Amino acid sequence: MKNSALLFLFLVLQCNSALLWAQTEPEEIKLDTDQFQELFYESLLQKGIENYDKAVIALDKCIKIKPDDAAVYYELGKNYLALKEYKNAYSSFEKATQIDPKNKWFWVGMYDVSYETKNFTQGITVINKLIEFDPKYKEDLTSLYMGTNQFEKALTLIQELNETIGKTDRRELYKSQILSEGKFQNIEVSNLLAQIEKNPKEESNYISLIVLYSKNNEEGKAFEIVKKLEKALPNSEWAQVTLFKTYLDNNDGPKAISAMNVVLASAKIDSKIKHRILNEFLIFANKNPQYTADLEKAISYFDNDKEVNVAKEIGKFFHTKKQWAKAITYYEQALKNGSGDDIETHLLLLQMYTETKEFGLVAKKASAMVDVFPTQPQFYYYSGMANNQLQQFKKAKDILEMGMDYVVEDRALEINFNIQLGEAYNGLGDFKKKELYFSKANQLIKEKKQ
């Protein structure tokens, strides 16, 4: 009976290892466990006060006691990463994943090292493993594909994410970068056409395709897509692009203006489309002057355009048509819109004042510009020419002589300076110098013709 009781007790203790250790643990095992805990705690303490070297020493001792403890290798990886010992950090995290591959944070450690070292190829391998834990890591994979120039894979993944979780600014920027290379644009065109066919009520796909065609200067194709959009979504702002052209072709000014104003006010519509519409309305308004006020309102939509000074370009339109007064209006507006440092616009405006014989304005404006741009000879020329016309010959002579010093490799301007100096000396009664400068001008004209 006594032997049976002892056997039963032995079997119970075998089945409960924790209880067995508590009662019969050898002294050396207890010492090792206590030492491991003390060393591990010490490593955390040292890491907390940024003594990473000491933390590594403590963890190395932990490994000697428990060589298969994943948490120790994970902590070791974090300390090596803090020390920028990237190779050791990566191998430590990797060892942790080999012991416990189901712990996401061990893989995150490997990814952190790959990111720090910009080893994107290595990062792709790790991130694909992390995607198994959390599909959100696909966002990181997109960036890694961009970093390794795997643009086709990036574009495919961007399209997938756009469909499943919606667009983001970063992905749209990536897509724009990819599509700047022509060879990938056909892929995106095919994708967008397929998306339009699949979901004809989704406006964004039409817009993306229109913008893509516009950037490639395929305006005809862009307008074909706008027509499709108009049929599918008549209330779309983009639909007004087609309606504007239809109304204009039918000479229906009020409806064309209404559609144009919707387009120009839209934040969705590409600026190239807006500029094209404005140009078409400019031609229309030039033939139908009753819409001049509407043209001026349309131009105001472009006041903050950083790429094109629309008022200036319209001024040039009227300039070439020798409609000086209208050109002046738009050049002045261009300068009011923040182009005060645009030398070309100032010179174009001075030319218009000259054409309309407003020499007082030319003299005043050119003199002010000399003060602002003291090395630009054209302003000295206009000031001298205008003062000659105003019979202020001494003033003309002085300003022209100053400006002549800044004329460099500009034969036409040099000729004009000499002519105006001849006129100034003629007005002053110094006929010898008058002949000298006229002679210089004639000689330059002969040389120019040769």
Per-residue pLDDT tens over the stretch 274-300: 888 999 998 998 899 899 889 888 888
Please report whether residue 380 resides in a domain. yes
Among candidate residues 110, 133, 156, the one where a domain is terminated: 133
Q: What share of the chain is helix, strand, coil (3-state, %, to 5)?
A: 80, 0, 20
CA 1 to chain centre: 90
> Residues 386, 362: contact at Cβ < 8 Å?
yes
Q: Which is nearest to 130 in space by CA: 121, 139, 119?
A: 139
Q: Looking at 11-25, 134-148, 189-203, which range is the least confident one?
A: 11-25
What does the DSSP 8-state code read for residue 137?
Answer: G
As to burial, measured by CB atoms within 10 angstroms (0-12 exposed, 13-18 middle, 19+ buried), residue 430 is middle
Distance from C-alpha of 109 to C-alpha of 92, rounded to nearest angstrom: 9
Please report whether residue 250 resides in a domain. no
3-state DSSP assignment of residue 419 = helix
- Binned at pLDDT 50, 70 and 90, residue 398 comes out as very high
Please report whether residue 108 resides in a domain. yes
As to burial, measured by CB atoms within 10 angstroms (0-12 exposed, 13-18 middle, 19+ buried), residue 234 is exposed
Among candidate residues 84, 107, 133, the one where a domain is terminated: 133
Please report whether residue 402 resides in a domain. yes
Distance from C-alpha of 115 to C-alpha of 90, rounded to nearest angstrom: 11
For residues 388-408, average pLDDT: 94
Please report whether residue 246 resides in a domain. no
Please report whether residue 379 resides in a domain. yes
- Predicted confidence (pLDDT) per residue in 296-352, tens digit: 888 888 877 777 788 888 888 889 889 999 999 989 988 887 666 789 999 999 999
- State in Å, rounded, how far the first CA of the chain is from the last one: 135
Q: What is the CATH number of the domain that holds 372?
A: 1.25.40.10
Instruction: Count structural domains, the chain.
Output: 2
Q: What is the pTM of this model?
A: 0.51
- Cβ count near 360 (within 10 Å): 12
Please report whether residue 179 resides in a domain. no
Distance from C-alpha of 271 to C-alpha of 263, rounded to nearest angstrom: 10
Please report whether residue 373 resides in a domain. yes
79: domain range?
Answer: 28-133
Among candidate residues 133, 152, 176, the one where a domain is terminated: 133
Residue 333: how many CA atoms within 13 Å on its side-chain side? 23
